[in-house]
Amino acid sequence: MFGFFKKALDKTKEAIKSVVGSEKKEKIDKELLEEALIEADIDYELVEKILDKLPKEVTKEKLKKELLKIFEVPQNRIEINDKPYTFLIIGVNGAGKTTTIAKLAYKYKNEGYSVILGAGDTFRAAAIEQLSLWANKLNIPIIKTRQGHDPAAVAFDTISSAKAKGIDIAIIDTAGRLHNKVNLQNELKKIVNVAKKAYEKAPHKIILIIDATQGQSAINQAKVFNEIIGVDGIIVTKLDGTAKGGALFSIVNELKLPIYFVGIGEKPEDLVEFDKEEFVDGILEGLYSE
């Protein structure tokens, strides 16, 4: 799997190498290291915190230890130990929610679970259509309604259908417009409350989709969603398309939430479990150029 991370971090590593050079190094000067980490889109204050306890010349091993500390957050693992195990997928429009839902569905179907989708982004007709196309392609059922209808009703019907048909996993989409926080807050809270009426343990996981190409600005989006509804964990999309891979450190540091998966391409199989060791090793490869 490390091959995936190496490939996905190519642009981030190039950004780092533009600062430190591409020759192999045993140690890097602290000031140069600071510049390189900021270039990878790690928040300045976090960079200062990382480097604070390190000597003037920093070895790969010492830096790795400090970088791994950032991911010491409650892991809140996904364990499919109930039925229907329900995912509520949230995030701003354009972050890659619909494609990520398809990738999750593909993953769990391949693992032998039955899956149903709920097209709860009723604000956009395109979102319903796109999710329907994926459901058809993956040969899995979908609950949908017309644009403008109540998304909470879609969530209720999806979970109820999963219960009636003995389906293992329900994955429900939501709208992600942030221009009016009050409307978003009311809508998401209603969806959660109505989901619980369909099944008291639902949703089992509320997952926030974050677009890696947004870098630092994704943190503010994440804070809004976390305040509104409470988030269990994160899926990061488009990591392969950005030089801002270092933002993942800032996101986890700020929110204290685990990253469950990372999207590294457009195909259904391009969703890999996040591994902090492999991710940090990928960043370090750009710095120390093995």
CATH 3.50.50.60 is right for the domain spanning 85-275: no
For residue 1, pLDDT beyond 70: no
Least confident stretch, 11-20, 37-46, 92-101, 177-186 = 177-186
Average pLDDT score, the chain: 92
Alpha-carbon distance of 265 to 129, in angstroms, equals 21
Burial class of residue 164 (count of CB atoms within 10 Å of its CB; 0-12, 13-18, 19+): exposed
pTM score: 0.94
Where exactly does CATH 3.40.50.300 map onto the chain?
Answer: 85-275
226-243 pLDDT, tens digit per residue, is 988 999 999 999 888 888
Under the banding of pLDDT at 50, 70 and 90, the label for residue 177 is: confident
Share of the chain above pLDDT 90, in %: 72
> Do residues 40 and 15 touch, judged by C-beta distance below 8 A?
yes
Where exactly does CATH 1.20.120 map onto the chain?
Answer: 2-73+284-288
132-153 pLDDT, tens digit per residue, is 999 999 999 999 998 889 999 9
Q: DSSP of 133-166, one letter per residue?
A: HHHHHHT--EE---TTS-HHHHHHHHHHHHHHHT
DSSP state of 266: S
Under the banding of pLDDT at 50, 70 and 90, the label for residue 3 is: low
Write the CB contacts of 187 (distance below 8 Å, at least 6 apart in sequence).
Answer: 151, 152, 174, 175
User: Degrees (nearest 5) of the Cα angle 240, 246, 250?
Assistant: 130
| Beta-strand pair 115-118/85-90 | unpaired
Which CATH number does 2-73+284-288 carry? 1.20.120
Nearest residue to 254 (alpha-carbon basis) of 39, 94, 44, 12:
44
pLDDT mean over 216-232? 88
Amino acid at 6: K
93-137 pLDDT, tens digit per residue, is 889 999 999 999 999 999 999 999 999 999 988 999 999 999 999
